[in-house]
Amino acid sequence: MDAQTHWQEGHKYALEGMKVMLAINGGAAVALLAALGQIKELRVPVIAISMMFFGFGALAAAMTFFTAYLTQLHYGNREIEGLDQISADRAARKFHFFSYALFSSAAIFFVCGLACVAFAILFLVKPT
């Protein structure tokens, strides 16, 4: 395999990872809302905090798509003659860093949301 093929495959897996992060944060929020409709004992303040974490996680995951687009745009602009390749490279690296930071934030928000739900279920909900 040549380097171009590896870049294409890496891009594909990164895109799928971003989709998964968006889906698990959004899906967790929807599942939690459905559970709240059925289990009244779950209606405790910490569940609202977990919803906030899942929402921020979904937002961070969605923003990752935008920063990834900007990253690729600026990496592509390095190849256009007449443009300042150094500033395009600097911008590409900056957006590349932000993409990693946002993706990592989405994962952290998801784990924090899960921790809040687990805390609510284990310690705040009274067994029947």
Structural domain includes residue 49: yes
The C-alpha atoms of residue 128 and residue 118 are separated, in whole angstroms, by 17
Model confidence, pTM: 0.86
Mean pLDDT throughout 1-20? 80
What is the model's pLDDT at position 105? Answer: 97
Domain that holds residue 62: 22-122
Residue 14 lies in a domain: no
Is 39 domain-assigned? Answer: yes
Give the chain's domain count.
Answer: 1
Which pLDDT band, with edges at 50, 70 and 90, does 1 fall under? Answer: low
Contact between 105 and 60 under an 8 Å Cβ cutoff? The reply is yes
Average pLDDT of 3-7? 70
Summarize pLDDT for 47-104 with one digit per residue, the tens: 999 999 999 999 999 999 999 999 888 888 877 777 788 888 898 899 999 999 999 9
What separation, in Å, do the N-terminal and C-terminal C-alpha atoms of the chain show?
60
